[in-house]
Structure 1
């Protein structure tokens, strides 16, 4: 591995640790079962001597109704703290109250102008007295929280710290902050930021996509109508669209009002909504799409043809005719459009064989986490799923998902869209503005918000739409286009095996198959036999990767030996629970990692987080938030030395148990109150009124709010 984890020293000195809060099955129940019986019930077979005894209900000094109980060291019981934080987390504030708090925060002296914080010069802000932020440097210093322990994460950069006096490590700045010495360009190891001029073009809907439009035109998918930008230009030139300003027809049987652009939305019925939230998909905001119909879109999206033939049968019958039609269309294109077409042999290829691939993981699979996994042995990394509509609108929060660190030597981004024009425009934009090695299209996301808009696993029910999306995306860039799918939409109705050959012919370089259906979500184990079946049916030039339930090097080796046609396997939740799984696979061993070695990995994550989100107050709390989100997975790890049967399976539920030291015991707690205590060991005390409720609750631990 190119880098090493934080230098291993003495184990951290722990403050008095209260008893962690557990709600697992009674320990006596586990003591009466053998290891084989526990495994059959998907309970981790922890050695008997580490099982936590039942709580003493006869102790009069302890009362479940007393929220002010403290242990002998004066530290409040974690169950009491959990109840208090749960109450705070459930308090809801009105929009007016939230707005009032934001305005008060802006007027606060702690909300220091970043320019003043960097330079230390009150007159350096170009807005002077009109600036909405505080310029009172002395008041800020008086109210600023105490510095955190450790060194500033930006000491290695040339020039002063980018956060200046606002940095929570400002006491470690070597030369201080001197006015006029701040460099305009700060060297950064991160790329793929959104440029301001590009963002403004996206905001105004004036971005040009010549390659995408040429490819869509050659495929017969380009809707020849006036866009919003063209209508605006016509209005400025005085052209009359419609004398009565009434809806006009676009010539394809689609009506629209002035200022509306024809979209492909609502042409296909969406799949019925189901309850539940997926743990690996983003809660992305998809704007409502305008209704329109056209013959081109209906032919593209319909599930069956007029003569009753299925989509695949009709596609097979018309394949030769369609090829001739596309050739004729290409011949009719101008020379400039012809040059945009990329030949399949000119595609850059990535060999995923034997490479350890960290899956795109929403919320927790952020850039600092990917850096940790790179240090521990991951070969391929991929950014969190980004919605095409949000990227095309220039949303900075969505573009942040495309950020790449210099240590990610083989990096891809994952996008999700419902229609070929949206995906094609996004692919061209990413190719133009970002540095990536491949682009992955998510066609397996099961979240309702995505599926009901026709994206994600909804595409599994519309193979012709899948074809259009993949062909449009792969035909405009020389980077590999990969696809991530599930076995099917409905449980018991797998369909990827019938599409696997077509996916390769449509232009995809690789496909990752998650061995579960959309309806299944994360219940039951992944169906690897079906993944093998798809891998054997795939054409030679299509790489097939499996995904699901890999939690040890034994799982990795088994899938590799059971199906030689399988290119590699993608690791998802196993990396969240124990990111050192990449080290275990490369070194072919079960790593009985100690608690302080795990703590040093957390220190690495915090350092990477401060470098990514910032070392000021906001950056520290953002790092803390994502660290706590990660804890909602790491507590499920059971140390190797405590198990009677190894390796641990991903579906095992750990019982209540003691660790081999206080830190290991604390890390095993499923209470968010105990996770907050660990975060305070790394990032200092939490602010007053701090609350946390984990976002992902899709496993067996459906505790309410803070434990």
Structure 2
């Protein structure tokens, strides 16, 4: 024993190793340096990174293929559709090859035997539709076919889905042809003295013959259909309606050339005060009494002109609108990509009170793009739900608000004026509006008058660092028509670097009128953060939770139960299971739906890996700007969940959704800049 001990190197003992290594900083010193104070028992040496040539292993071991042209991709899609792997939807539902109405001319395969021969093996678990007592709408194509009670489920016996706000095909066709009418938005834009952004079309001569969206069949004489909303004025003069119809512009689309927006007509201080006190209708009636032929540039006949104009622009006062009480409600922020419907359902089960859909671009909604309308979907469990839209011009936003108000079931509409993404800012939308306060006023005024639902606005502190502008907007935005405003405590130039400036958020709240709800946003990552910010200013109604919910969606449970939840790896895995179940129900249980669910699961795992379990920290709670050292979990599953490697995320997805397809790769779409250098732009 003594000889063996003598043979050991003198520096191999733990005591000698500890003496030779520098002393470990205290938890307080680590926190001051924004390093997570993980307990020493869980620390391990930093991993050795592979050379760049081996980085493909992190994407499942596949080599990234050469980018193909659009024509080549289209040709490959058509060839793939004809293969036996793409069974006709109707045939898959019914299990009968003759059920397709297109017969032999169908683009997809009707060979059931060939499809079943090449179909991958069923996944483990139950069909998500069977768990909610529904017949699976995917039939033979379902990846859980073996668990079906009736494999040949007829589509007519399918239970009703619990999702609403789907885009009606007839409405979509009207939007495609630019024939959807926006009488409220057009009238309000004219009243404010603004010009509509118009896109000229080759068939502009036929634009006057627009189809009323209330008459989807397009039958009947459209000349006899008044443009004005019958709820506004049932006896509106037809001459005025024809004038409004001819002057109605087209929605702005991506490839259009926007015109310069003229400023509103200047008004005297007496007129402005009268507008604020009595509303636009009173001032307009006064102007018409002085000059009955003057009505916003339109020549209106003297008979019935006054009553028509007054009724046309009559809008409910703010006090008559439905007001949502945001006070102390847990608000899940609208989150790009990851804030999809299954994730919002998951947050509802964990305690969220208010949910909001992903940001949708106004121009895409007005074009009837199905992918953009999918962002407006609402689940029946979302009892307090809003949609967020983003646009650059008053007429574009007003038309979108009127469209959403007509075709969707929502509780409020939020306008994004804080998005920092370059592609949005370069089009004059998002946070670039902070440099145009008069346009913000025009957008809010135009949008708030075309709907009776509450209108909310989300802004950042400023566009450029050190030039805060939000406080000047907060004091007036309620008079313009907004019911609530969310202030994100960072500038556009900051993106997501540095901590949110909550002192400035408090200053904005102090300048807000009592009727306006002010929502703070930024760095809420625990119930102590939420308590501190809500109690820090009496005018803060609540806090919006964004990245905190992405990293740990059980933050809503922590806030409601007022505790730091030391969640186990098994409990976290069950939450992932719930998300997968919701995803398969939303995107489908066939092969395409499984891979779509996998993609969004991987996008979410790129955030959840940043969570550090409570039991591993010397100081709690965790802060969003802490950089985690190299450490391990309390068990193998927890160690796998804290890995920042895409290969480990794929392993987790395979535990839930089976093996990935051959050649599968994954690169996160969003790379958060929480604790890296600021992206100035």
TM-score, normalised via structure 2 length: 0.83
CA distance in 2: counterparts of 1:169 and 1:669, whole angstroms: 30
CA distance in 1, matches of 2:550, 2:163: 23
Q: Contact conserved, 2:37 with 2:617, CA < 8 A, in 1?
A: yes
Residue of 91, 94, 112 corresponding to 1:137: 112
1:231 Cα deviation from its structure 2 partner: 2.6
Shift of 1:653: 1.2
The whole-number CA distance in structure 2 between the counterparts of 1:636 and 1:147 is 32
Partner of 2:161: 188
Distance in 1, matches of 2:255 and 2:248, equals 13
| Residue of structure 1 equivalent to 2:76 | 101
Structure 1 residues 65 and 544: alpha-carbon distance in aligned structure 2, compared to 1, 3 A threshold: closer
Equivalence for 2:648: 674
| 3-state SS of 1:391 partner | helix
1:36 maps to: 28
Q: Distance in 2 between matches of 1:498 and 1:595?
A: 47
Shift of 1:91: 4.0
Equivalent-residue separation in structure 2 for 1:136 and 1:32 (angstroms): 67
Equivalents in 2 of 1:479, 1:234: separation in Å? 30
User: How far apart, in 2, do the equivalents of 1:630 and 1:193 lie?
Assistant: 25
- Indicate if the aligned counterparts of 1:89 and 1:693 stay in contact, CA closer than 8 A: no
1:239-258 aligned at under 5 Å gives the runs none
The aligned counterpart of 2:284 is 329
Do 2:390 and 2:417's aligned partners in 1 also have CA atoms closer than 8 Å? Answer: yes
Report what 1:212 is aligned to: 185
| Alignment match, 2:295 | none
Give the 3 Å change call, closer, same or farther, for CA 84–185 of structure 1 in structure 2. closer
Distance 1:98 1:337, change over 3 A: same
Distance 1:544 1:235 in 2: 44
Give the corresponding residue for 1:298: 262
Q: By how many angstroms is 1:480 displaced?
A: 0.3
1:300-346 deviation line (CA, Å, top 9, x unaligned): 49xxx9xxxxxxxx997872376697634356461684375222221
Instruction: Note closer, same or farther for the CA distance 1:156–1:472 as it changes in structure 2 (3 Å cut).
Output: same
Q: Does 1:456 align with 2:409?
A: no
1:53 is displaced (CA, Å) by: 3.0
Equivalenced residues, count = 602
CA contact (8 A) 1:227 1:261 kept: no
Per the TM alignment, residue 94 of structure 1 is displaced from its structure 2 partner at its CA by 3.4
**CA shift in 2, pair 1:291/1:378, >3 Å:** closer
Structure 2 CA distance, aligned partners of 1:443 and 1:677? 38
How do residues 157-236 of structure 1 correspond to structure 2 at under 5 angstroms? 160-177=135-152, 181-183=154-156, 186-221=159-194, 223=196, 231-233=205-207
**Residue matched to 1:437:** 411
| 1:484 partnered with 2:458 | yes
Q: CA deviation at 1:54?
A: 5.0
Deviations 1:60-114 (A, max 9, x none): xxx96799xxxxxxxxxxx887356476236433334423331231121011100
- What CA distance in whole angstroms lies between the structure 1 residues aligned with 2:658 and 2:633? 24
Unmatched 5+ stretches in structure 2: 1-19, 211-220, 222-245, 289-305
Alpha carbons of structure 1 residues 30 and 511: separation in structure 2 relative to 1, 3 Å = farther
Counterpart secondary structure, 1:652? coil
- Deviation of residue 467 (structure 1)? 0.7
- Among 353, 367, 371, the alignment partner of 2:327 is 353
Could you tell me which residue of structure 2 aligns to residue 401 of structure 1? 375
Q: Is the 8 A contact 2:624 2:674 kept in 1?
A: no
Deviations 1:219-262 (A, max 9, x none): 2235599975763256999xxxxxxxxxxxxxxxxxxxxx9997
Give the TM-score normalised by structure 1: 0.80
Q: Distance in 2 between matches of 1:185 and 1:157?
A: 12
SS at match of 2:610: coil
Distance verdict in 2 for CA 1:215–1:136, change over 3 Å: same
Closer/same/farther in 2, CA of residues 701 and 527 from structure 1, 3 Å limit: closer
Question: 1:422-469, CA deviations, whole angstroms, 9 ceiling, x for partnerless residues?
Answer: 111111111111110000000111111111111111111111111111
Counterpart-to-counterpart distance in 2, 1:165 and 1:689: 25
Aligned-pair CA distance for 1:168: 0.3
Cα pair 1:262 1:292 within 8 Å, conserved:
no
Q: Distance in 2 between matches of 1:640 and 1:262?
A: 57
What SS class does the counterpart of residue 449 from structure 1 fall into?
Answer: helix
Matches within 5 A, 1:519-534: 519-534=493-508
Aligned residue for 1:287? 254
Q: How big is the shift at 1:563?
A: 1.0
2:97 aligned residue? 122
SS of the aligned residue for 1:569 comes to strand
2: CA distance, partners of 1:84 / 1:374: 32
Does the residue aligned with 1:89 lie in a helix, a strand or coil? coil
Q: How does 1:409-558 map to 2 (within 5 A)?
A: 409-558=383-532
Structure 1's unaligned 5+ residue stretches are 1-27, 58-62, 68-78, 238-258, 266-285, 306-313
Structure 1 pair 637/401, CA: closer, same or farther in 2 (3 Å)?
A: same
* Distance in 2 of aligned mates of 1:224 and 1:440: 22
Give, in angstroms, the shift of residue 364 of structure 1: 0.2
Q: In the aligned structure 2, how far is the partner of 1:120 from the partner of 1:562?
A: 62
Q: Distance in 2 between matches of 1:481 and 1:598?
A: 36
In structure 2, distance between residues paired with 1:651 and 1:609: 30
Residues 1:685 and 2:659 are matched in the alignment? yes
Which residue is 2:233 aligned to? Answer: none
Per the alignment, do residues 196 and 84 of structure 1 end up closer, same or farther by CA in structure 2, a change over 3 Å counting? closer
Moved more, 401-410 or 221-230: 221-230
Structure 1 residues 366 and 30, CA gap change in structure 2 (3 angstroms): farther
Q: Corresponding residue for 2:237?
A: none
Structure 2 residue matching 1:122: 3-state secondary structure: coil
Which residue does 1:280 correspond to in 2?
Answer: none
Q: Secondary structure at the match of 2:104?
A: helix
Structure 2 equivalent of residue 254 of structure 1: none
Q: CA deviation at 1:215?
A: 2.2
Deviation of 1:32 after TM superposition, in Å, equals 2.6
Deviation, 1:155, is 1.3
SS in 2 for 1:666: helix
Aligned to 2:130, the other structure's residue is in SS state coil
- Could you report, residue by residue, the CA deviation over 1:276-319 in whole angstroms, capped at 9, with x for unpaired residues? xxxxxxxxxx61332435xxx32249xxx9xxxxxxxx997872
Query: 1:474, CA displacement in angstroms?
Result: 0.9
Tell me what 1:112 maps to.
Answer: 87
The answer for the alignment partner of 1:277 in structure 2 is: none
- C-alpha distance in structure 1 between counterparts of 2:148 and 2:248, whole Å: 54
In structure 1, the residue matched to 2:6 is: none
Q: 1:319 aligns with which of 260, 272, 276?
A: 272
Contact 1:218/1:326, CA 8 A, preserved across alignment: no
1:358–1:165 CA distance, 2 compared to 1 (3 A): same
